[in-house]
Amino acid sequence: MCHFSFPKGFCVGALTLAILGWSNQNAASAETGNETALPGFTNYVQKIPGGTVSFEMVAVPGGTITVGSSENAVGRTPNELPAQNVTIKPFWMGRYEISWQEFVPYVFADREEVEKDKVDGVTHPTKPYGSVYRDRGEKGYPALGMSQHTATEFCKWLSWKTGVKYRLPTEAEWEYACRAGADTAYFWGEDPAPAKEYAWFKDNSKDTTHPIGKLKPNKFGLYDICGNVAEWCAKDSPDAPSIVRGGGFPDPVQQLRCAARQVETPQWNELDPQSPQSIWWLSAADFVGIRVVRSLSDELAAQAEAKPAAATETAAKPADNAKAQATYKRFCAGCHGVDGKGQTALGKRYGARDYSSAAVKATLNDEAMTNAIKNGISKEGKHLMMAYKEKLSDDEIKALVAYMKAF
Ligand code: HEC
């Protein structure tokens, strides 16, 4: 069977992919945040601005694969999808489940900042009933117990924070990534016995979660893709049921089958005495969590339109700079580049200068910079940069001036 078609119509297996140069260890180039790294489509590390937290994204090659299960498959339950061929475009997926380090800033720290700015409609959870951690471990452990709504809002927050569009996987993407080329019941084969090497589930979890990344990954290098916490997928439509994939620590081995799905039930919230129940937390579902993805096609489209969407972080900035950085990425990086060097397609076209060079630094003064940002720049009748005075407050402009001088 053809697991990967790359390029279209050309059938290759996992080994050939390695020969074609796709490597799941190649994390270096995308880490530079240099847009030209995109055609390389490699693994990268995403830093979250304003702190020291980062997470790894794995480049998953596109291909065609059979997802779902046939009617007579061993261990099949009726809610599994029928076997069907799907073609998946290349995308990135988190190497690990989202841990509390990434999730807690969303729940607590950035609240005021986001609410004051009404940033891109990001909303924040209310305080959970009881401890957010549910006594299941904190640092290094997977974030858990959030509703699908919260998982989706988390992705919006993460996108705002990083300037890179993150989202929940579709079910097809999730299963494709889990299988990593395998058409067997489990990603390691038909025999359930090796499950303990790859997944925390009923037989080895001691009824709790474990720190992310401790067991063996699948062939794409994804850890805990089965077991530990089951992972939220995006809804196909607003009325579609909420689904998690991969099974969690309390589940029997059959739930680790690639095609297995779990549909949210009212029982998942039955310990919540509030009425109405929280839309943010599932009081009795401490076995659900998050793994994020990013589309390659989004990034290519963004580049074609030269949207100011930054690829990745170059350096962690101090926390008080995070806001200026986010504004900069949103409005300015499209031309001036995340690194201020002006090497984006648009920056080159309009002649943006290299703000990290001493020669340019020597020409800068606050007043001229402020004036340029407020009123825009045209040269010999040619438009170079729009006026931002309607879009940005004086304080934001001041912060941007300081931010650009520091390149
Ligand atoms: C459409 C492309 C484009 C965008 C978007 C853009 N700029 Fe510019 N900007 C330019 C060009 C071109 C120049 C003139 C060459 C240069 O100085 O880099 C310029 C010049 C400047 C200058 C003039 C510096 C000086 O005093 O000589 C500042 C400051 C500046 N930009 C800041 C910003 C900020 C802040 C944003 C986002 C709010 C932004 N730019 C968005 C293209 C852009």
The pLDDT assigned to 114 comes to 61
The pairing of strands 230-232 and 288-289 is parallel
**Does 118 fall in a domain?**
yes
Considering only CA atoms, which residue is closest to atom 14 of ligand 1?
352
The pLDDT assigned to 35 comes to 33
**Going residue by residue through the chain (407 aa), what tens digit of pLDDT does each one get?**
333 333 332 233 332 233 223 333 333 333 333 333 345 588 999 999 888 899 999 999 989 989 899 888 888 888 888 999 989 999 999 999 999 999 998 887 666 666 655 555 677 788 777 788 988 999 999 999 999 999 999 999 899 888 899 999 999 999 999 999 999 999 999 999 999 999 999 999 999 999 999 999 999 999 999 999 999 999 988 889 999 999 999 999 999 999 999 999 989 988 777 766 788 999 889 999 999 999 987 666 655 554 343 434 344 345 457 888 889 988 899 889 999 999 988 888 888 999 988 888 888 888 889 999 998 888 777 778 888 888 899 999 999 999 998 88
Q: Cα of 371 to ligand 1 centre, how many Å?
A: 11
Q: Which of 377, 390, 395, 397 to mutate to test the pocket of ligand 1 (most atoms within 8 A of CB)?
A: 377
**Does 315 fall in a domain?**
no
The pLDDT assigned to 119 comes to 56
**Does 219 fall in a domain?**
yes
Domain tally, the chain: 2
Cα 131 to its chain centre, rounded Å, is 25
**Could you tell me if the CB of 387 is within 6 A of ligand 1?**
no
For residues 157 and 264, state if they share a domain: yes
Domain boundary among 290, 317, 343: 290
What is the C-alpha separation between 313 and 354, in angstroms, rounded? Answer: 18
Considering only CA atoms, which residue is closest to atom 5 of ligand 1?
332
Q: Cα of 169 to ligand 1 centre, how many Å?
A: 36
Q: Cα of 176 to ligand 1 centre, how many Å?
A: 43
Amino acid in position 168: L
**Does 310 fall in a domain?**
no
Q: Cα of 60 to ligand 1 centre, how many Å?
A: 36
Residues with Cβ within 8 Å of 55's Cβ and at least 6 positions away in sequence, in order, are 45, 46, 48, 94, 95, 96, 98, 99, 102
What is the C-alpha separation between 38 and 296, in angstroms, rounded? Answer: 9
User: Which DSSP string corresponds to 363-376?
Assistant: T--HHHHHHHHHH-
For residues 286 and 399, state if they share a domain: no
Closest CA to 80 of 262, 236, 233: 262
Considering only CA atoms, which residue is closest to atom 15 of ligand 1?
352
Question: Residue written as tokens 């807690």?
Answer: 104
Q: Cα of 385 to ligand 1 centre, how many Å?
A: 6
Q: Which domain holds residue 352?
A: 16-41+332-405
The pLDDT assigned to 207 comes to 96
For residues 356 and 385, state if they share a domain: yes
CA diameter of the chain: 73
For residues 35 and 50, state if they share a domain: no
Question: Residue written as tokens 């009325």?
Answer: 239
Distances (CA, A) of 118 to 56, 122, 403: 28, 7, 22
For residues 199 and 271, state if they share a domain: yes
